[in-house]
Structure 1
């Protein structure tokens, strides 16, 4: 079992994407591999959770298009 990792980012924090975020199948009404947020898109963290198997933080980020996407720490950075 992995030790839980403390989140680097907090609820309400503004962030931007470091990579293109694409649909991995989590959005059933959007084609798989469709672009959800381009690299450099800004948004706000609306919830911080934990992936139970790997004990890694997951951030729900609301982007300007009112789309909420789950992100890993490697995919975002503070604005």
Structure 2
């Protein structure tokens, strides 16, 4: 059955999300603020926003002040950076939750990213070997 021309299936004035041209969330730095393995503190209570299916929306997932370590980093809708943080030994139902940059504070001002040091050492080695090959 064809739709009547007077009936619209969509509103042409609604702006749809375009992940290709969308800019990063205003709350995230352009470059990641934290690195995998970095020790962080939670600046505010984190409650279930509906992304954890085994608890009611609004349930406290992790209390303010909890200490954890960055386990991984990803993006939601390609514009919102989310850190997977492991809070070891907590009494909460889950130990690993997703956190936004503005919800975290570094506990290690002198954090050394060992993966980055390895990459730099390998790059220096390659450059040295390339010079010897010439």
TM over 0.5: yes
1:27 to partner: Cα distance: 1.3
Structure 2 unaligned residues grouped into runs of 5+ = 1-21, 108-134
In the alignment, the residues of structure 2 paired with residue 53 and residue 10 of structure 1 have an alpha-carbon distance, to the nearest angstrom, of 18
TM-score, normalised relative to structure 1: 0.85
Runs of 4+ more than 6 Å apart: none
In the alignment, the residues of structure 1 paired with residue 54 and residue 76 of structure 2 have an alpha-carbon distance, to the nearest angstrom, of 24
Structure 1 unaligned residues grouped into runs of 5+ = none
1:26 to partner: Cα distance: 1.4
From 56, 62, 67, give the equivalent of 2:95. Answer: 67
**Root mean square deviation, CA, Å:** 1.8
1:57 to partner: Cα distance: 2.1
1:53 to partner: Cα distance: 4.0
- Select the structure that is richer in helix: 2
Give the count of matched residue pairs. Answer: 78
* Structure with higher RCO (Cα < 8 A, 6+ apart): 1
Is 1:58 the counterpart of 2:82 in the alignment? yes
Higher-Rg structure is 2
